[in-house]
Amino acid sequence: MTLDVKWMGIDMGECLMDVTPRRGHLLTGDTAKALSRPESSASAYHRWRVLIEKYGSLPVVLERHKIELLGYVFDDDPAAGEVFLGVEQEYLALAPGAHEALSYLREEGIELSVVTAARTSPGPMDDSCEFRFLERHDVLKYFEALVTPRGRMRIADRAVDTRYEGTSKEDGTIYDVLAEDLNARGISPGEAAMMGDKEWADITPAKKRGFKTILYTGYIYRGPTEADMVIERFSDLRDNVRYGGKAVGGRPAANRMGATG
């Protein structure tokens, strides 16, 4: 099966971003040391665990409650946010084969956006964990926009569309706004795909809005899926996804690496 699309959204954590090296005791310990408070490492990690117990999982804490985490764990130290964001990057990796796959998709002419559930981060969107990660791993150049519940930031000029503020992947409202935007640009949801690892956030709500869907199982497979396609490696995209628009002069009409949308 091959998916023909003009636009594709890609999830961050446990999809584009390999979070398996990220461990609480490492993040709290390194941050405490960088703040010149190594003696506070044990108490900081204890508070870290308290928040995980409160909200259920580390991804939920980091995506939805990062500002609360930084204040509670590090005693409202104003320097903690910047230090933590720097330390965090040391424990995040790019998914194997992502560079090559993203390059292929853009050469095909498919527009790419990161679509993440991350709701909170200290500072502006272009200083967030997600933005820093894309820059650090030299993949920012492949993406048109960073789409989050904080807003949709256009990469080219950092302009933020606030219509996305307060939306959610889980309840599907972020896909409602995405569908509206894409339709305004002549791209129907059926000509777009969402790729992610979570059925309840990346697959089911996007599919209900008419998007094609790709489940990524490179880190974890959570069970039965309604996704149109299941892949284990980013390299699988080369054989299974192609540009779905009209070709001009032997190349896709939408092939524009500098697209801003």
Summarised one tens digit per residue, pLDDT across range 64-113 is 899 999 999 999 999 999 999 999 999 999 999 999 999 999 999 999 99
pLDDT score, position 261? 42
| Packing angle of the helix pair 41-55, 24-34 (nearest 10 deg) | 140
User: What whole-number distance in Å separates Cα of residue 33 and Cα of residue 24?
Assistant: 14
pLDDT score, position 30? 96
Alpha-helical (H) ranges within 201-256 are 204-208, 237-240
Among 47, 65, 45, smallest CA distance to 55 is for 65
Q: What's the whole-model pTM score?
A: 0.88
Q: What is the DSSP letter of 95?
A: P
Residue type, 174: I
Residues of the chain with pLDDT under 50: 248-251, 253-261
User: According to CATH, what is the number of the domain 3-18+93-252?
Assistant: 3.40.50.1000
